[in-house]
Structure 1
Amino acid sequence: MNTDEEDVLSVLAVMDLIQRSQNRNRFRVRPYLKQRSFNIYQELQVEDRFGLKNFFRCSESDFEELLLLILPDIQKKTTWRNDVIPPDMRLGATLRYLATGDSYTSLMYQLRISKQQLSELVPEVCMALYKSLKNLYLKMPSTEAEWRRISAGFNSRWNFPHGIGALDGKHVIMEAPANTGSLYYNYKKTFSIVLLAMADYDYNFIYIDVGSQGRISDGGVFQNSSLSRALNSNTLGLPTDEPLPGEEVNLPYVILADAAFPLSHHIMKPYSGDHEQGSPERIFNYRLSRARRIIENTFGILASVFRVFKKPLTVEVKTAISVILASVVLHNYLRRNNISRNLYSPQGTFDTEENGNLIPGQWRTEAQMEGLQPLPRLPRRTAVDSQRIRDNFASYFVSERGMVPWQY
């Protein structure tokens, strides 16, 4: 070995010793983050209960109930190697992330939890919430009686008989996922995953499909969904076709959608183009739009309360999916009774009508939902049978039995 090689090896050896010394002196967690005596939930619980509702977007009782539900899935054992984050702080940090959409770095300084720990606990708590709540608060109807109950609600509240759900989809915008190329690149030249959702007459989600890549067309998203497969195989448990009130022609129970979806036996969408005032087509479009606003308002309040959807998500795809799932079930959970509903969506939150005139809900006055964008509206060819069904609904809406005073 020559002198130059010996000198290089000596330098490398010294550098290795320096690195080892530095590693020994570096802390595993920043010292101030180890102050677990700081617990934002407990402090707000004692000093500012109103602030607690605003900070976590739920009441103290809701927080405590959620904590009990997911405790077995998020509680960790303390070991000699780490300082475990208590379950209430884990839930609180996740709810705060959903409520604000702040970066992990920003939350680290608010909550004294390192961003590395936040990146692990947020998806874990989100999936625990989804697992614990989905069977109770996100249940697709499966019997004729359940579908008829929803249909009765659409008829009594929105004057659309045989309606069983309002369907729409949103692109959930996110930063470009690593090593995915153009898989998530959508028509608006952003990166996204798709949330396809259906709501009942009372602003509750009854079906969701999450995770389709943004580059897939709107038709592809629906056609690849479990809802489409269930409709095609007739396994949703829908009531058989029957006449509208006072009529004789059998008509199906239908899902209310917009131009992004195909007109079919069980899916109604508006007539395209402009139509004369008072014409059956125009009245049909108005009645359909009025009832379909349910899903538009549901997405609106979701993004208004869970502001993580106000801007592009800055997390991995898997975490983004868990965030969406948790937010949807929390939406339904927080609307489960009058007390929680009044806190989550107080009077004036949703669109209302007065003498046929639309009064915009409070969610519309806030900043645009940059993190939720609509599916594209594309022209489609439809089967003659589906057109006939739509024409029958339109004729009924202008008949003496089916018309309502304010529709003109």
Structure 2
Amino acid sequence: MDPDKRKAFAALVICEAMKPKKRKKSFWAKEWYKNRDTYSHITLLKELKENNPDDYKNYLRMSDDVFQDLLVAVTPFIEKKDTVMRKAISPEQRLIATLRFVATGRSLEDLKYSTAVSPQCLGVIIPETCRAIWHALRDKYMKFPSTQEEWLAVAADFEGYWNFPNCGGAIDGKHIRITCPSKGGSYYYNYKGFNSLILMAIVNANYEFIMVDVGKNGRMSDSGVIQTTTFYQKLHQKELNLPTTDMTKEGFNFVFVGDDAFALHEHLLKPFPQKGMTPQMRIFNYRVSRARRVVENAFGILANRFRIFHTAINMTADKIEDVVMACCVLHNLLRMNNKAAYTPPVMVDREDIEGGNIIPGVWREGNAALVPLQVGQNRNVSSGAKENRDKYVAYFNSTGAVPWQNNMA
């Protein structure tokens, strides 16, 4: 052989020898994964369903009737076909694994032992099922009002439950802790010192979400987050089809209520700053806070029942959005169908009118899972917004007064 060819051949042999050896996989799944029906929680759930219904309900965070209805709704979106290689994971198993993930906040590595599904597979199944839950339920359980009649129905509940007229919802936002995505840098790093996505929401008088917007990075200015939402853009452009003043009580603007994180607007009321308040302003603040408390409690219930919010969610941002949206619409589903078990009276804040005290709901026990937005600054508030608030101040201190407000303010 030619010396040059001999050298080239030798170099080729050496290069091939230096290449890392590919590990040959001798099996496609661990043996106990193949026996999923035997080793997973499916067997346990059958036992609980027949003999311990309370434990069954606690395990799934819902009654069997509600679970079965939910399973029927999501099955068309998550059902897979068996292949010649393996049997597909059933829709029931997929849904149960997802419900346990959001209810407990357990890691995928931990969850594999009760589901008999690999963490890699769970990482695909859970976001996919969350996306299916959202698509299957949103039109029925989180319908955003689109007509003046629908807005007036929301306002009727606020006046009936919370003595606040012309109110279309309570607005608030929270930081959701996340694990910084790969190459995320400081994009999600907020002023409180952790990585987050921001969840904005509007809640009705029944602690139910009527609008959720999730996905803005935690680094964004808190007071400016609402301005990026579709809701705010439509509000600013007068495209929400809100009731006009000839349809509202006292002829006032139809409004939403928020806290100090938001700017005063002709259709958004917020409390006065604590410094230099008059007695009339204190009454107004109490009435606004009383109506606004529904959104704070809704977030508290959400985090109490879905413990995933007590962890730093370790997924890509788009998958986290799927998880959060699913939790919010499941919250509404359970509020409407399992209210007594999902939110017993002690769960939410209550008023001791005689004593002039707020009795905290049990969701407040322990550390806050969802972190509030930072207080904003009042800048460039229009005269129309101030005049609108003054009208409500006067109303709550005259014909719209309630007997106990002086004790509570």
* TM-score normalised by L of structure 1: 0.91
Match of 1:289 in 2: 289
State the 1:133 CA deviation.
0.2
- The answer as to whether partners of 2:223 and 2:374 remain within 8 angstroms in 1 is no
State the 1:238 CA deviation.
1.0
**In 2, Cα distance between the equivalents of 1:305 and 1:214?**
23
State the 1:84 CA deviation.
1.7
**In 2, Cα distance between the equivalents of 1:150 and 1:45?**
40
**In 2, Cα distance between the equivalents of 1:94 and 1:342?**
23
**In 2, Cα distance between the equivalents of 1:30 and 1:171?**
39
* Residue 387 (str. 1) matches residue 386 (str. 2): yes
Call closer, same or farther: CA 1:9–1:265 in 2, change over 3 Å.
closer
- The answer as to whether partners of 2:37 and 2:43 remain within 8 angstroms in 1 is no
Letter of the structure 1 residue corresponding to residue 304 of structure 2: S
- Specify which of 203, 218, 223 is matched with residue 227 of structure 2: 223
* TM-score normalised by L of structure 2: 0.91
- Specify which of 192, 198, 201 is matched with residue 194 of structure 1: 198
Gaps of 5+ in 2: 1-5
Letter of the structure 2 residue corresponding to residue 329 of structure 1: V
Call closer, same or farther: CA 1:242–1:284 in 2, change over 3 Å.
farther
- Specify which of 98, 105, 108 is matched with residue 102 of structure 2: 98
State the 1:9 CA deviation.
5.2
State the 1:212 CA deviation.
1.0
**In 1, Cα distance between the equivalents of 2:141 and 2:57?**
21
* Residue 65 (str. 1) matches residue 64 (str. 2): no
State the 1:120 CA deviation.
0.4
Number of residue pairs matched?
Answer: 393
- The answer as to whether partners of 1:275 and 1:281 remain within 8 angstroms in 2 is no
Match of 2:402 in 1: 404
State the 1:10 CA deviation.
7.3
Call closer, same or farther: CA 1:380–1:107 in 2, change over 3 Å.
same
Letter of the structure 1 residue corresponding to residue 299 of structure 2: F
State the 1:6 CA deviation.
7.5
State the 1:280 CA deviation.
1.1
Match of 2:269 in 1: 268
**In 1, Cα distance between the equivalents of 2:56 and 2:292?**
34
State the 1:4 CA deviation.
7.1
RMSD: 1.9
**In 2, Cα distance between the equivalents of 1:68 and 1:335?**
19
State the 1:273 CA deviation.
2.6
State the 1:35 CA deviation.
1.0
State the 1:361 CA deviation.
1.0
* Residue 53 (str. 1) matches residue 57 (str. 2): yes
Letter of the structure 1 residue corresponding to residue 396 of structure 2: F
- The answer as to whether partners of 1:160 and 1:287 remain within 8 angstroms in 2 is yes
- The answer as to whether partners of 2:36 and 2:117 remain within 8 angstroms in 1 is no
State the 1:225 CA deviation.
0.7
Match of 1:318 in 2: 318
- The answer as to whether partners of 1:170 and 1:194 remain within 8 angstroms in 2 is yes
**In 2, Cα distance between the equivalents of 1:187 and 1:63?**
40
Match of 1:125 in 2: 129
1:107-139 C-alpha deviation (Å, 9 max, x unpaired) = 011221100010000000000000000000011
Match of 2:45 in 1: 44
- The answer as to whether partners of 2:263 and 2:376 remain within 8 angstroms in 1 is no
State the 1:354 CA deviation.
2.1
**In 1, Cα distance between the equivalents of 2:13 and 2:342?**
69
- The answer as to whether partners of 1:154 and 1:201 remain within 8 angstroms in 2 is yes
Match of 1:183 in 2: 187
Identity of aligned pairs, percent? 38
- Specify which of 150, 158, 172 is matched with residue 168 of structure 1: 172
* Residue 377 (str. 1) matches residue 381 (str. 2): no
1:147-194 C-alpha deviation (Å, 9 max, x unpaired) = 111112111211211111000001111011112222212111211111
SS at 1:82 equivalent: coil
**In 2, Cα distance between the equivalents of 1:6 and 1:275?**
84
* Residue 143 (str. 1) matches residue 142 (str. 2): no
Match of 1:259 in 2: 260
